Amino acid sequence: MEKFLSFERSMANNGGEATSGKSAGFSRVALNERILSSMTRRSIAAHPWHDLEIGPGAPAVFNCVVEIGKGSKVKYELDKTSGLIKVDRVLYSSVVYPHNYGFIPRTICEDSDPMDVLILMSLFCLVLFFVLAIGLMPMIDQGEKDDKIIAVCADDPEFRHYTDIKQLPPHRLAEIRRFFEDCIHSHVYLILSYKKNENKKVDVEDFLPAETAIEAIKYSMDLYASYIVESLRK
């Protein structure tokens, strides 16, 4: 510690450069100003909902933030205040998320959350990447609209050739439907967590084509713009 303080004093006395005799043979060192700045002032992290760009190709091709990886039994969700991803709950049923699941930045739906998206790709992934909307899954959760965009990773050679949900195998669609019907919004902690056993009604309607998904994303983008304007007025 004493050596570090001596180094700092040497830096201060020599305009930010170390000139100690012990360092002869080494080039003069200057501390990174960005590191020093972060040590002396509090910084604010970017918010994935508000600070990330949706992408120039939106609403057809857009950025997606993954909250939950394929195969997970843990439901994570965005903490809208801090921008961090937090644990909501562990699924009580024996199923796992069939695909990566997340949200579209700079969108908002009628439930005051960003637009949800299920991303079909070959691997588990927890990053930001471009996806292509191929369909919409209309869903009513306890009387409230809770639609899901179905998309494919634009950079995954196994899935990027799909352009509409009708091209997917019927079993994959059945798997997606059953997952959402069974457990994704289980809020009551019972031994059996399926919606049908909780008297909580979830209706998953027929899947809709890519053009309907694109219209829904555009609508959520417009709602978000109105939300920002209203927030600035307050």
96 neighbors 72 (Cβ within 8 angstroms): yes
CA distance 169 to 185: 25
Give the separation between CA 154 and CA 159, rounded to whole angstroms: 8
Q: Is 138 left (phi over 0), alpha (psi -120 to 50) or beta?
A: beta
Domain ranges of the chain: 2-40, 61-233
The position carrying tokens 């997952």 is: 179
Find the largest Cα–Cα distance for the chain: 78
Surface-to-core class of residue 151, CB atoms within 10 Å of its CB (0-12 exposed, 13-18 middle, 19+ buried): buried
Looking at residue 210, its pLDDT comes to: 97
Fold of 61-233: Inorganic Pyrophosphatase (3.90.80)
Cα distances from 158 to residues 21, 40, 144, 182, in angstroms, run 60, 48, 34, 27
Q: Residue 222: CB partners within 8 Å, gap ≥ 6?
A: none
pLDDT in tens, the chain (234 residues): 444 445 444 544 554 444 444 444 444 445 455 444 544 555 567 899 999 999 999 999 999 999 999 999 999 999 999 999 999 888 877 789 999 999 999 999 988 999 999 999 998 888 888 999 999 999 887 677 889 999 999 999 999 999 999 999 999 999 999 898 876 555 444 433 444 444 455 667 789 999 999 999 999 999 999 988 887 776
Q: What does the pLDDT read at residue 197?
A: 44
Cα within 13 Å of Cα(164), Cβ side: 7
111-152 pLDDT, tens digit each: 899 999 999 999 888 888 899 999 999 988 767 788 999 999
User: What is the reported pLDDT for 225?
Assistant: 94
**Residue 91 near residue 154 (C-beta atoms within 8 A):** no
Q: DSSP 3-state assignment of 8? A: helix
Question: Cβ-count burial of 46 within 10 angstroms (0-12 exposed, 13-18 middle, 19+ buried)?
Answer: exposed
Residue 174 to residue 190: CA distance in whole angstroms: 25
The span from the CA of 165 to the CA of 150, in Å, is 8
Note the pLDDT of residue 24: 45
Confirm if 172 and 159 have CB atoms less than 8 A apart. Answer: no
